[in-house]
Chain A
Amino acid sequence: MDLYPLYNSLRIALISTVLIFFMGIGTAYYVARMPKVIKGVLDVLLTVPLVLPPTVVGYLLLRFLGPHRLVGAFFFENFDIRLTMTWWSTIFATVVVSFPLMYRTTRGAFESFDRNVENAARTLGLSGGFIFWRIRIPCCKAGIIAGLVLAFARALGEYGATSMISGYTPGITATISTTVYNLWRTNNDDLAYKWVLLNLLISALVLVFLNLFEERRRKS
């Protein structure tokens, strides 16, 4: 059994989770402080990938990143880089679809963070950077980690947009989800079962972790 899809899926999920961590807390921080109307509009825009069919996300991504499209053509002509059909093209898809999960949980955590704590820190002379990284983030840790775990799980299981933007090339762009689809298509049930079981195992582990974490958070 060639484990490349497992390795590929894990690295994609990890890289997108790291990207989403910074994007999510940055966006959540600024959106949480915006006036109500702008906040409402931004919130819809930033959350919409969560409810769009992944194929629609994939379609939109191809419209931008395809070699003859706006962004894709720019990179292709100037740097000779194709943004689609590589293993890392999938990261575009996973970031877009799992970002809302991180953003929403983090924003919720930020909004319940006591403004007085921040104000007290400012009157005591502490810098904005210290307040953000040493007080706000640790205080909102639980929400942020929950968001990260959900985003990681979503990225790991992403199929629709992935198959459109990276396709399925064994050993190159294959992920667990595209591999399972391909094994089913070619009637390779034996191997398909193994991947399905492996996938179930990973998902179960993620959920167990999340539940344990929630429990600890409730206790503290």
Chain B
Amino acid sequence: MSLQVKITKKLANFSLDVDFTVESREILAVLGASGSGKSMLLKCIAGVETPDTGCIVLDDRVLFDSSRKINLLPQERRVGLLFQNYALFPNMTVYQNIYHSVRKGRYSGPEQERLINGIMDTLQLTKIRNNSVMRISGGEMQRTALARILVNDAELMMLDEPLSALDEHLKFSLEMELKEIIGNFGKSVLFVTHDRDQAHRLGDRIALVNDGLIEKIAPVREIFMHPDTVEGARITGVKNIAAATVKNGIVEVPRWGLSFDLCRIAGSDGWSEKDIHYIGIRMNDVKLAKGKEDLSKGNIFTFKIADVLSNVFSYTVKLYNPDVSDPLPFYWQISKDLWEPEHRNIVELYLRDSIVMPLK
């Protein structure tokens, strides 16, 4: 049960050009900013949009192949797509939405009833089975849309920005629900999102997409530890990104006034001097210096505090290096139980070598 995709499609501002595989039972998250071509990718796989060139193969079935002029109808692809707005049939009840999503001629009458009732039970839809889908909550809409895909015997489930249509306070519990449902699906799952936390929580692997191209595809941990490109760093939430120059094994970041030893920050990752143009540091990876840090694994730097933003459980501190004539802000996030600003204007921070990410 694997999906192989290698397609190109010209869009208004850029071209979608991707080549990737989703393994059997794997959950692949496609992470990218809005308008990076993610939704178009799903529509091409589902068959409601046609790529310009390439091929799409699900298990051993060719869904699309431009060179062999194969282009299966969406009806024949057996690919479930959960739309951002769920796209339920608005003129029907919950039950009718699910009933009409069962493939015709696949089951006998009683079998079909058992299947529908079983899935409605699991997804807790039985109580609202006769409600119009226009009169149910966002969570119930999501479960109804998922139930349609589950009774449809889809070989692949795709989700387009799941939960993005919901209020913040609902997202938390519905994401738990979604995680369980797609975890039990037992076949490949492909979902697109612009929410890095969601991609991190739900995905096995992540494909970083920017302007229609996949910048990197790797297991979740690897993506967040080594995004490799500036865009990748931005999408995965790195707030500190600055231009760097590398000479004789020393990485200089002039606008932060910082320098690092190349072999200490990237020695094992095979970066060569000419590949590194930027440096990224996550603001929560930076620690407060307490005087007993291991200086063989990092360095202590002094910053001036420009501003402190108070979040619910943490501070985001805007810093700069006073010795630099044209400083770039450096952001640091610290939990409120570990630090209080108390009218300080200087702070000493410990930057471990391992948190410094070289970027192309």
Contact = CB atoms under 8 A, between A and B. Distances in A.
Interface stretch (B81-89, B237-245, B271-279): B81-89
B74 interface: yes
Interface in A103-145: 114, 116-117, 119-127, 130, 134-135, 138-139, 141
A123 B90 contact: no
Interface stretch (B22-30, B41-49, B123-131, B285-293): B41-49
B75 A117 contact: no
A129 to B, nearest CB: 12
Nearest to B148: A124
Which of B83, B104, B145 has most A Cβ within 10 Å? B83
Contacts of B10: none
Contact of B48 (A119, A126, A220): A119
Given A119-B48, A125-B152, A114 B87 contact: yes
B205 interface: no
Interface in A4-24: none
Given A116-B85, A135-B89, A135-B91, A123 B79 contact: yes
A132 to B, nearest CB: 13
B46 A123 contact: yes
A122 B73 contact: yes
B91 A139 contact: yes
A119 B75 contact: no
Given A123-B79, A124-B101, A124-B152, A117 B89 contact: yes
Contacts of B78: 125
Contacts of A121: 89
Contact size class for B? 20 to 34
Nearest to A119: B48
B89 A119 contact: no
Interface SS of chain A: helix
Contact of A120 (B76, B77, B83, B134): B83
B281 to A, nearest CB: 40
Contacts of B77: 123
Contact size class for A? 10 to 19
Contact of B81 (A123, A125, A141): A123
Nearest to A131: B89
A120 B85 CA distance: 11
B201 interface: no
Interface string B32-56: 0000000000010011100000000
B91 A126 contact: no
B114 to A, nearest CB: 19
Contact of A119 (B87, B100, B103): B87
Contacts of A126: 75, 100
Contacts of B134: 220
B75 A127 contact: yes
Given A124-B148, A125-B152, A126-B100, A116 B75 contact: no
Given A135-B91, A139-B90, A122 B74 contact: yes
Nearest to B145: A120
Interface in B102-153: 103-104, 134, 145, 148-149, 152
Contacts of B104: 125
Contacts of A127: 75
Contact of A116 (B83, B101, B148): B83
B80 interface: yes
A39 to B, nearest CB: 19
B75 A125 contact: yes
Interface in B252-292: none
Nearest to A127: B75
A130 B84 CA distance: 23
A114 B134 CA distance: 14
A116 B152 contact: no
B328 to A, nearest CB: 43
A130 B102 CA distance: 14
B74 to A, nearest CB: 4
Contacts of B88: 117, 120
Given A125-B152, A127-B75, A120 B81 contact: yes
A127 B75 CA distance: 8
Contact of A125 (B91, B103, B145): B103
A119 B85 contact: no
A123 B74 contact: yes
Contacts of A124: 80, 100-101, 148-149, 152
B80 to A, nearest CB: 7
B91 A123 contact: no
When A and B form their complex, which 5 residue pairs have the shortest distance between CB atoms, in order from nearest?
A: A120-B87, A116-B87, A122-B74, A138-B91, A119-B48
Given A119-B83, A120-B145, A130-B100, 12 more contacts: A116-B85, A116-B87, A117-B87, A121-B89, A123-B77, A123-B80, A124-B80, A125-B152, A127-B75, A138-B91, A139-B89, A220-B134
10 contacts: A117-B88, A119-B48, A120-B83, A120-B148, A122-B48, A123-B46, A124-B152, A125-B152, A130-B100, A139-B89
